[in-house]
Amino acid sequence: MDGVRDAAKNSATPEYSILLPTYNERENLPIITWLIFDELERAKISAFELIIIDDNSPDGTQAIAKRLQQLYGPERIVLAPREGKLGLGTAYVHGLTFARGTFVVIMDADMSHHPKFIPQFIAAQKASGADIVTGTRYLPAGGVYGWDLRRKLMSRVANYLAQVALRPGVSDLTGSFRLYRKEVLAACVNLTRSKGFIFQMEIVVRARQIGFSIAEVPITFVDRVYGCSKLGNMEIVSYLKGLWSLMWR
């Protein structure tokens, strides 16, 4: 009897679809997958699916994803590969066509986003009824690890400029660890025009313009790629340009 009920529960529509875009994450993918299942099972959340959107990684991430699908089952892990590296915004749109859940969780596969926060996002959504729950490194319980002083200062200045320029009502605009109502993400992504980390800010700005509600959960961000802060002068210029354009459109 229990077996029948379990089978029925497993085949039921998942409530949460976790979108995991990957590019050359051969080593990280099995571990982040394991962590996601471990954390959600411990939080007694079973109605979820993991959608792996691999952009044809040359390191063979896709083959690893297939093996993980065999291990955890095709109803829990959905493969949504793409033909090449096509950018994050379109990865979300692509993943959304596979997502069966009412809610969509978006995270990075490099383990800077810890799956232990997903149950907290879900609890915050239930408590507030928000359309979006966004992880923030900048509230007291949040934090970062693996950043030198220069990197911290740059992130603080960038965040300050964004707060002043856009008045977003959200303390961390460039983070991409978030939970969305599925139709809310679809609506926001359709309105965005920018790419990269500006894209993450634009989603929030668009969401505010439409009037969607946003809740925040403090997260810790552990940067395991030491020493390579990818913020060159080009990035600074494109960041400022992005901020400016978001103020007006």
Partner 1 sequence: MKSGPLYLGVLTASAAVWLALYLELAIPLSPSGQQVVSALPCLALIWFGCWSLGTISLNLIRLRECTDAAVELREQIAAARNDLRARGLGDIFDADAK
Figure out which of the listed residues 9, 126, 150, 152 binds partner 1, where binding follows CB under 8 A: 152
Site string for partner 1, 108-127 (x = CB under 8 A): ---x--x-------------
Residue closer to partner 1, measured from CB, 20 or 104: 20
**How many CA atoms lie less than 13 Å away from 85 in the CB half-sphere?**
6
Figure out which of the listed residues 156, 210, 225, 236 binds partner 1, where binding follows CB under 8 A: 156
Beta bridge partners of 20: 52
Residue 240 touches partner 1, criterion: CB under 8 A = no
- Going by C-alpha positions, the residue among 100, 59, 73, 184 that lies closest to residue 134 is 184
Figure out which of the listed residues 24, 34, 98, 100 binds partner 1, where binding follows CB under 8 A: 34
- CB 5 to partner 1: min, Å: 26
Site string for partner 1, 164-193 (x = CB under 8 A): xxxx--------------------------
Residue 173 CB contacts under 8 Å (≥ 6 apart), including other chains: 159, 162, 163, 166, 200, 201, 204
Site string for partner 1, 55-74 (x = CB under 8 A): ---------x--xx--x---
Residue 30 touches partner 1, criterion: CB under 8 A = yes
Residue 143 touches partner 1, criterion: CB under 8 A = yes
Q: Can you read off the two tokens belonging to residue 247?
A: 């103020």
Q: Is 87 helix (H, G, I), strand (E, B) or coil?
A: coil
Count, residues near partner 1 per rule CB under 8 A: 40
Residue 211 touches partner 1, criterion: CB under 8 A = no
Alpha helices in 129-181, H assignment, sequence order:
149-166
Residue 229 touches partner 1, criterion: CB under 8 A = no
Which residue matches tokens 């994050």?
Answer: 88
Q: Is 107 helix (H, G, I), strand (E, B) or coil?
A: coil
Q: Is 20 helix (H, G, I), strand (E, B) or coil?
A: strand
- CB 86 to partner 1: min, Å: 25
CB 17 within 8 A of CB 101: yes
- CB 57 to partner 1: min, Å: 13
CB 126 within 8 A of CB 217: no
Write phi, then psi, for 123 (nearest 5 degrees).
-65, -40
Contacts with partner 1, residue ranges (CB under 8 A): 26-27, 30-31, 34-35, 38, 64, 67-68, 71, 111, 114, 137-138, 140, 142-146, 152-153, 155-157, 159-160, 164-167, 209, 220-222, 224, 247-249
